[in-house]
Structure 1
């Protein structure tokens, strides 16, 4: 880890400490990384009790599973370049009981991760609320770093998105517009053929809510983005890959969806 940077707050100013374009813009061949999703401390008991909205007063099981995952990741060879957690870090919604304790215990479990493996955090609906507000987004950023940002690894450009701003930004339209503007700039950068700026070998996108569950034309569903939104995003991602980059989208939120979509190769 670079310097004394907080391992949970490396995403700042829309970039990521230690994984910058200056340091990582050159393609050096294949590498591996870990994608995890929905540690969601507190969900298991709430699910068993049939009270997913108001339950979640115990989370020892999730803590133990997280520790097992960390141990397994630490033993991998070659070392993953990073591990990304694609949202729903905890079960308790913003401003509800157990939130502080769940975040505290998740961080304690994740601290066992080998320092050579950066942790990348993606926001989910339980982290921001189903309808995020400026306050809930700010609260998330204080705990886990920026809600959307980019980073580079070995010539690959990675984008972390706040998918709740695509799902329902009715309480924070200015934040939605800011992410849209930023995303357009990032996708333009990815498709640029400029001789001055290095072109990424691949483009990876990480978000919590899947674009779709089974096919792009399916009807709207709670667990995926609305059809109009998803088709627009898919078109933008595909255009970014038309200049030769492969575009892969990784997400969380439901085991019903594949964890990766390949839009262009």
Structure 2
């Protein structure tokens, strides 16, 4: 199938078919797949030690993403959606490899069962480390809105552009627009009938502890503290992210931080994989599955039992 029209993209800060009007009522347990960092081009760049100028080969990531798609397609029951939490490709917006990497990733994702929505979350490589209005527009044209909300079975999901939290010096007005939108969404959520509120973003609030030092893989402590307080007060249950290329996370003030390793390049001891997230009326239960495990055995039996 040619063209991009096969991909339903978030527009006008929402996702068609997954709106409050259609999905505000709790309909029973469901699950979704959270994946992160297919990042086509990083594996070779990391091996040769040139993560800025490298990335001229990405067949490994294509194959791994294809394996993920094929494994997810076989799951029964089907997930309600797949969230790809950023760094879809490795090439920065001005890279000569950018267009080909996006084209090849889309070609693989076209193999996803059409009944499973794809939720795209922007990462630092998708927008640039210091995004500008032009790089944000480029991303939105290719993958849909950089921040938006959607509903699934009484659960409110907020998809955020975490690069605005990290460095918005190149686009302060866009950062302010997201800030105002987020404030409105959280205020509305408190008054709504949402069973849970969950957040999807690329950069974690923190890796292991909200008190850890600032580094490349987390948000700066001053911003982190503001967001944790804001999310906790609104009753957000969990934040799901990628970026770290390893599994990590923690819990603070009732807010769980879930850091999911990559489909693509691994920087730690984890294997290529995705996270299965089961949502019940009372709990959010999740487990990381390697691609091989998911391909051979599907999701863990105890998770499946929660959906019965």
Q: TM-score, normalised by structure 1?
A: 0.92
Q: Indicate the residue corresponding to 1:195 in structure 2.
A: none
Q: What does 1:239-258 align with in structure 2 at a 5 Å threshold?
A: 239-241=233-235, 247-258=237-248
**Can you list the C-alpha shifts for 1:12-42, whole angstroms capped at 9, x where unaligned?**
0000011111110001111000000000000
Structure 1 residue 199 displacement after superposition: 1.2
CA–CA distance in structure 1, aligned partners of residues 91 and 168 of structure 2: 20
CA–CA distance in structure 2, aligned partners of residues 174 and 79 of structure 1: 40
CA–CA distance in structure 2, aligned partners of residues 7 and 87 of structure 1: 20
Q: Indicate the residue corresponding to 1:67 in structure 2.
A: 66
Q: Indicate the residue corresponding to 2:80 in structure 1.
A: 81
**Can you list the C-alpha shifts for 1:43-97, whole angstroms capped at 9, x where unaligned?**
0111111111000001011001111000000011111000000000000000111
CA–CA distance in structure 2, aligned partners of residues 229 and 147 of structure 1: 19
Structure 1 residue 219 displacement after superposition: 1.1
Aligned partners of 2:8 and 2:118 also within 8 Å: no
CA–CA distance in structure 1, aligned partners of residues 240 and 75 of structure 2: 21
Structure 1 residue 259 displacement after superposition: 6.0
The answer to whether structure 1 residue 227 and structure 2 residue 217 are counterparts is no
The answer to whether structure 1 residue 263 and structure 2 residue 263 are counterparts is no
Q: Indicate the residue corresponding to 2:193 in structure 1.
A: 199
Cα RMSD over matched residues?
1.7
CA–CA distance in structure 2, aligned partners of residues 24 and 190 of structure 1: 14
Higher relative contact order (CA 8 A, sep 6+): 2
Aligned partners of 1:190 and 1:200 also within 8 Å: yes
Aligned partners of 2:120 and 2:143 also within 8 Å: yes
Aligned partners of 2:38 and 2:61 also within 8 Å: yes
Structure 1 residue 119 displacement after superposition: 0.2
SS at match of 2:248: coil
CA–CA distance in structure 2, aligned partners of residues 258 and 47 of structure 1: 21
Q: Which stretches in structure 2 are left out of the alignment for 5+ residues?
A: 257-282, 284-308
CA–CA distance in structure 2, aligned partners of residues 74 and 52 of structure 1: 32
SS at match of 1:11: coil
CA–CA distance in structure 1, aligned partners of residues 247 and 38 of structure 2: 17
Q: TM-score, normalised by structure 2?
A: 0.79
Structure 1 residue 228 displacement after superposition: 0.6
Structure 1 residue 258 displacement after superposition: 2.4
**Can you list the C-alpha shifts for 1:143-169, whole angstroms capped at 9, x where unaligned?**
000000000000000000000000000
Structure 1 residue 8 displacement after superposition: 3.2
SS at match of 1:12: coil
Q: Which stretches in structure 1 are left out of the alignment for 5+ residues?
A: 193-197
Aligned partners of 2:206 and 2:212 also within 8 Å: yes
Aligned partners of 1:213 and 1:256 also within 8 Å: no
SS at match of 2:151: strand
Aligned partners of 1:93 and 1:99 also within 8 Å: yes
Q: Indicate the residue corresponding to 1:49 in structure 2.
A: 48
